[in-house]
A and B are shown apart, each in its own frame.
Chain A
Amino acid sequence: AQSVTQPDIHITVSEGASLELRCNYSYGATPYLFWYVQSPGQGLQLLLKYFSGDTLVQGIKGFEAEFKRSQSSFNLRKPSVHWSDAAEYFCAVGEGGGADGLTFGKGTHLIIQP
């Protein structure tokens, strides 16, 4: 069965500092990988996705993620965070990108310090 682990429940970063959110997955075939962001009281917004090809994926809001098959990881990065990046971040894995839904990690809560 597929699974996703986000090892950090909470992360605190100073505004302007760099960010890396970790995601490890377990999946039998080539995974389709996603990062979503959720602001308080809102639904999930897609940040970026990896289906195939270049393992470094660029997303919206200045985020990027790197797929590393050897480490079963898909970590999310941003070189300089803004206060508006404070939110919950979810990593997800699926087969075919949606035919039978996605398996989500439990999320990482990002706190931005002034």
Chain B
Amino acid sequence: DVKVTQSSRYLVKRTGEKVFLECVQDMDHENMFWYRQDPGLGLRLIYFSYDVKMKEKGDIPEGYSVSREKKERFSLILESASTNQTSMYLCASSQTRNTIYFGEGSWLTVV
């Protein structure tokens, strides 16, 4: 089975802190994604990556950055967390032209 692992399920951070959300996949997938999910808004794509050290902006990249130093790992970075970034963050991976598989999500609260 495909496994997408988000190491932190629940985080509470203070405004202005730098936040790292880590994601690892075990299927040698080329593509990795970060979405955020908010009630009534569904899932929105923040960033994606189709290769190591490559990244592309999604629909809502403002306030976020990403890092992909190794094929299996894709990190989402909030340089200076703000309360409007309180949300559920979902990591996903896929092989091109195939199904996207999701992790279980990371609940981030910024206070």
Binding site for B on A (CB under 8 A): 32, 34, 36, 41-46, 49, 51, 90, 94, 96-107
Is the pair B48, A101 in contact by a Cβ cutoff of 8 Å?
A: yes
A residues within 8 A CB of B44? Answer: 104
Q: How far is the CB of B98 from chain A (nearest CB, A)?
A: 5
Q: Is the CB of A106 within 8 A of B42?
A: yes
Contact call B48/A43, Cβ cutoff below 8 A = no
B96–A99 contact, CB under 8 A? yes
Q: Which residues of B contact A100 (CB under 8 A)?
A: 48, 50, 56
17 A-B residue contacts at CB 8 Å? A32-B97, A42-B105, A43-B103, A43-B104, A43-B105, A46-B99, A46-B100, A49-B99, A96-B96, A97-B94, A97-B96, A97-B99, A98-B96, A98-B100, A99-B31, A99-B97, A102-B100
B101 touches A106 (CB 8 A): no
Bound together, the chains give a CA A46 to CA B1 distance in angstroms of 12
- Which of chain A's residues have a CB closer than 8 A to the CB of B107? 41
User: What size tier do the contact residues of chain B reach?
Assistant: 20 to 34
The residues of A that contact B56 with a CB separation of less than 8 Å are 100
Tell me if B74 counts as interface (CB < 8 A to partner A): no
Q: Say yes or no: is B43 at the interface (Cβ < 8 Å to chain A).
A: yes
Among A43, A51, A102, the most chain B Cβ lie within 10 Å of the Cβ of A43
Contact assessment for B105 and A98 in the assembled complex, using a CB-CB cutoff below 8 Å: no
Flag if A106 contacts B99 (CB, 8 Å): no
> In the complex, what residues of A have CB within 8 A of residue B90's CB?
43-44
Instruction: Tell me if B95 is interfacial: C-beta within 8 Å of chain A.
Output: yes
> Which 8 A-B pairs rank lowest in CB-CB distance, beginning with the nearest?
A98-B94, A106-B42, A43-B102, A43-B104, A44-B102, A104-B43, A96-B97, A101-B45
